[in-house]
Structure 1
């Protein structure tokens, strides 16, 4: 069954907007785990706009205590700066179950494109090897339409995370068949290369079920913005329950 990893970045955004410690990121993550979430995701950025290094350390300890997956996302090429030791350093210090490599820059409001293998593939190879030495499963953030998805396996990655922003837009616009076919094909190409498939970005309770029904054997979805937004109305535990029910109801795919 698809695993739900809750991205708690938005909790940190709200905390940072006021200063101090409220809302508490660790308490929110604990609530998600108590409600049945399978793991916690964070995406620390060099500008510390939301999750900070101290959050990463605290959440690493929490997930270790609960025996669940901790997934750290980030740009492996971003250099360290005060308050941000760098993605690989954070992974070395916390040894997360999964490291997801995302090619985002400081100027991006949010992650909005996948890895360019022709440009960055060989730069990624030694970084992937280092992360695996730390015991991390490595996932690469990719566009569904990228014809070189299988290259992730050649570089040593274990999984890809399909960037689902375009799917979410197509869902709102009612233009689904071609987009779902694109994502289904991407998943099958990745799996044929021996890669596991994750998915994330702008997934919600409204569109998640349709995605999982169409795209085969998605191992994990990482959901943050929509989930936290929905929780403002429904409560965090009830919202987690809604996502888990959607996942459980998804149509199984033939092996």
Structure 2
């Protein structure tokens, strides 16, 4: 259940579950053992390791909420499935490590945001939820395919709705209106961000045209940084 919750929250819902639907005729790959590389620096103490083993090898802990190794492994498998790659192939070992670090960081960010929506008591209306669920169902070719994918994930439609509710609450948390009074972005910061974008994509529009989008992006990033600074985070990969 937690696996689906976090995948929904980071906006991987449609792409990830669509991959599962496309691969529905294949067996789900076995989850790798996921033992940490001895060469990597470990944050855990001996006591932490004992707790982690008892909890199923947590890869991170956010304000007391664990992110399990199983969640990470399944997400890596699904991301690799999108690329037609085998995460257990030795040739992909370095890329798997990079992907794990990226995904763990994203999982931590989204757990922080989910916790913040609960702290601020952000609510989602039933109308919003029903509309989101309808849009989600439209991404499948048929109701049968939708039901099959739910079954593959051991998820009921009611449980899916609750996870979509969390996703919508996070979206509300990160809206520009919500951040307007709590985060400030300078003109210089926006210009620097634009210059970085321009180096990567010279065909982008003028700064004045891109400025509202850049301002929104920077405010979201700063807000998340503030939340991270206020959180107790342990990462074990």
Q: Same fold (TM over 0.5)?
A: no
Answer with 1 or 2: which has the greater Rg. 2
Q: Which has the higher contact order (CA 8 A, sep 6+)?
A: 2
TM (norm. structure 1) is 0.24
